[in-house]
Amino acid sequence: MEYHLETPVEEGVLRRLRVGDLVFLSGTIVTARDEAHRKALEIHERGGRLPLDLRGGGVYHCGPVMRRVGGEWRVVAAGPTTSARMEIFEDRFIEAFRPAMIIGKGGMGERTTRACERFGCVYGYLTGGAAVLAADGIRRVRAVYWLEELGMPECLWVFEVEDFGPMLITIDSHGDNLTEEVRKRVMEKKERILKALR
């Protein structure tokens, strides 16, 4: 199935999505990588507030190439980064900030899958490295936070997006995880190949 969704995405809509579905998202997405996840969780654990509300929005694992033209930031290239690095944070991040979609590439693990099931979130897989395609769905830069402290790839870029995608749902809110299933099959296959190796 193909879905065109708008942020904030309601949980009822989100729960309809299944592994293998395609999603195009319009509204607001925010980039966050390793450093931004760490910082956001530290702020949350101290009882502080983030500079913006992530509820129902998209969190994008992306360190874009940006360029300042006049007084305005423009996106040059903005494809997904490897999500697996954020696996150590993502379940707590989803619980704390309740985004509707985690967007990245490479897939994520069991902890994220459980958090998606429990709190109503999905993982949208963008084609890795396809930075120009991804940037095409970004209409403008709404804001940027923590640029000075974390630098261009790691800070929070707030993008206004229109039909951003296609994103393949590889983790849904029902406990299914496509890339994890493939990974398990690969490991079994590897054992068989190694056993037969001469």
Partner 1 sequence: MEQIVEDTAVELLRISATELPGDVLEGLRRARERTEGVLGRSQLENILRNVEIAGERSLPMCQDTGVISFFVRLGDGFPIRSRLREILVRATRRATEEVPLRPNAVDLFEGNTGDNVGRNGYVPHLYIDLVEGDKLELIAMPKGGGSSNVAALGMLKPGVGLRGVKAFVIEAVASAGSLGCPPYLVGVGVGGGEDICMYLAKRALLRPVGERNPDPRVAALEEELLEKVNELGIGVMGLGEGPTAYDLHIEVAARHPASLPVGVVISCWALRHAEAVISKDGEVTIRRVL
Catalytic residue numbers, as ranges = 37
Is the sign of the CA dihedral 17, 19, 24, 26 positive or negative? positive
Q: Identify residues 31-90 at the interface with partner 1 (CB under 8 A).
A: 62-65, 67, 76-79, 81-82, 84
Instruction: Return the range that interacts with partner 1 (CB under 8 A); candidates 5-13, 89-97, 116-124, 132-140.
Output: 132-140
- Strands 156-171, 138-145: pairing is antiparallel
Contact pick of 168, 171, 172, 173 for partner 1 (by CB under 8 A): 168
- The Cα–Cα gap between 131 and 9 comes to 24
Instruction: Return the range that interacts with partner 1 (CB under 8 A); candidates 1-9, 48-56, 109-117, 166-174.
Output: 166-174
- The Cα–Cα gap between 196 and 177 comes to 29
Quick one: tokens of 184? Answer: 């398990």
Q: Does 1 bind partner 1 (CB under 8 A)?
A: no
Select 47 or 193, whichever has its Cβ closest to partner 1.
193
Cis peptide before 166 (omega within 30 of 0): yes
Contact pick of 38, 52, 106, 114 for partner 1 (by CB under 8 A): 106
Select 56 or 58, whichever has its Cβ closest to partner 1.
58
Q: Does 178 bind partner 1 (CB under 8 A)?
A: yes
Q: What is the DSSP letter of 20?
A: T
- Closest approach, Cβ 38 to partner 1, in A, equals 14
Q: Does 9 bind partner 1 (CB under 8 A)?
A: no
- The Cα–Cα gap between 41 and 149 comes to 16
59 DSSP β-pair partners = 30, 102
Nearest CA among 21, 22, 35, 15 for reference residue 146: 35
Contact pick of 87, 153, 162, 176 for partner 1 (by CB under 8 A): 153
- The Cα–Cα gap between 131 and 80 comes to 7
Per CB under 8 A, residues contacting partner 1 are 20, 62-65, 67, 76-79, 81-82, 84, 105-107, 125, 127-133, 135-136, 151-153, 166, 168, 170, 178-179, 181-183, 185-187, 189-190, 193-194, 197-198
